[in-house]
Amino acid sequence: MLHLASRSPRRAELLARLGLDFGVIDLDIPEQQGASEAAFEYVRRVAREKAGAGLLEVVAVPDAAVLGADTEVILDGRVFGKPADAAAAVEMLRALSGRTHEVITAVSLVSAGREAQAVSTSQVKVTLLSDAEIAAYIDSGEWEGKAGAYAIQGRFQAYIEYLSGSYSGVMGLPLFETSRLLKQFGLLA
């Protein structure tokens, strides 16, 4: 039985697109980057920790497999996680405005005695945003709980000049990489 270790409704929606039955494990894993930890390694570690913590929750379930993922926005080596408040979201959007940033999503799949991981890296260019556009987006509330203070699948897509990489990866679960992991574990045909 497959389980998704995530509170994200977007990840559950994306995983459902693969046509699988799965359970959801609601976990609260601290997401704190180590002082000398590179962004790429940080994202990979958090995904592994989510999957591992989820497996501990369902260890008694026969043939349990747990999928964990983490998505971060990176600009100039700085990780833009989920903003704490509207002021932090404004700061993030101003920094991303007119620039190309990286979105890294790591996916870990674990079962008893087995683990595999895949990483999706995408380049996203945000158009130059006016103060009025930023204010309107903040007022929408769509930024809440989103890495980098935006949801590419929502109204923010009007501000994306281009995307090179995985759209579903930027949303939070790269379906190509995820399906390959699931096939390795015999969970997807």
Strand partners, 67: 4, 109
Task: Give dist(CA 6, CA 131) in Å, integer.
Answer: 33
Task: Give dist(CA 30, CA 33) in Å, integer.
Answer: 9
User: C-alpha distances in angstroms, 66 versus 15, 81, 104, 143, 182?
Assistant: 12, 23, 20, 27, 10
| 139 catalytic residue (yes or no) | no
Task: Give dist(CA 52, CA 15) in Å, integer.
Answer: 18
Task: Give dist(CA 151, CA 170) in Å, integer.
Answer: 9
Catalytic residue among 28, 63, 70, 131: 70
Task: Give dist(CA 48, CA 29) in Å, integer.
Answer: 11
- Catalogue the active-site residues: 70
